[in-house]
């Protein structure tokens, strides 16, 4: 999996870098998991994993290239303030995401 940053703009008002990226994933098959893309982006941007949030990853039909959008914040506080809860949940590590889903299912069963 190769990650290439297509564009990167700094938004001083929101204190974040807004990134558009491209992922070549011929070696992995389908669209790579968000968490894996997030780790690659964090290392490429030389920032902490907690500051990077992948908003969207879409594979173009008939290709092995996915386009996506991400935000890299200056601080964790700024990220928690601005990123919607569903985006934070989608960017969680796989183990944590499974536990949250199980908890939600338990809550639904109790209702």
Tens-place pLDDT, residues 47-102: 999 999 999 999 988 889 999 999 999 999 999 999 999 999 999 988 765 555 55
Q: What six digits make up the tokens of 54?
A: 């992948």
- pTM of the shown model: 0.79
Q: How many whole angstroms separate alpha carbon 111 and alpha carbon 65?
A: 43
Tens-place pLDDT, residues 2-54: 999 999 999 999 999 999 999 998 877 788 899 999 999 999 999 999 999 99
Q: What is the count of structural domains for the chain? A: 1
Give the helix/strand (H/E) hosting 83: none
From the number of C-beta atoms within 10 Å of its C-beta (0-12, 13-18, 19+), residue 66 rates as buried
User: Could you tell me the CATH number of the domain that includes residue 51?
Assistant: 3.30.70.330
Domain around 32: 2-110
**pLDDT computed for residue 96 by the predictor:** 63
């Amino acid at each position: 999996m190769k990650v290439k940053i297509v564009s990167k703009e700094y938004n001083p008002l929101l204190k974040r870098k807004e990134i558009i990226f491209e992922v070549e994933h011929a070696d992995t098959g389908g669209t790579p998991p968000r968490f894996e893309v997030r780790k690659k982006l964090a290392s490429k941007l030389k920032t902490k994993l907690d500051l990077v949030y992948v908003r969207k990853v879409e594979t173009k039909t008939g290709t092995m290239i996915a386009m996506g959008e991400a935000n890299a914040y200056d601080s964790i506080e700024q990220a928690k303030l601005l990123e919607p809860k569903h985006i934070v949940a989608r960017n969680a590590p796989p183990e944590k995401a499974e536990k949250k889903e199980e908890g939600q299912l338990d809550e639904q069963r109790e209702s």
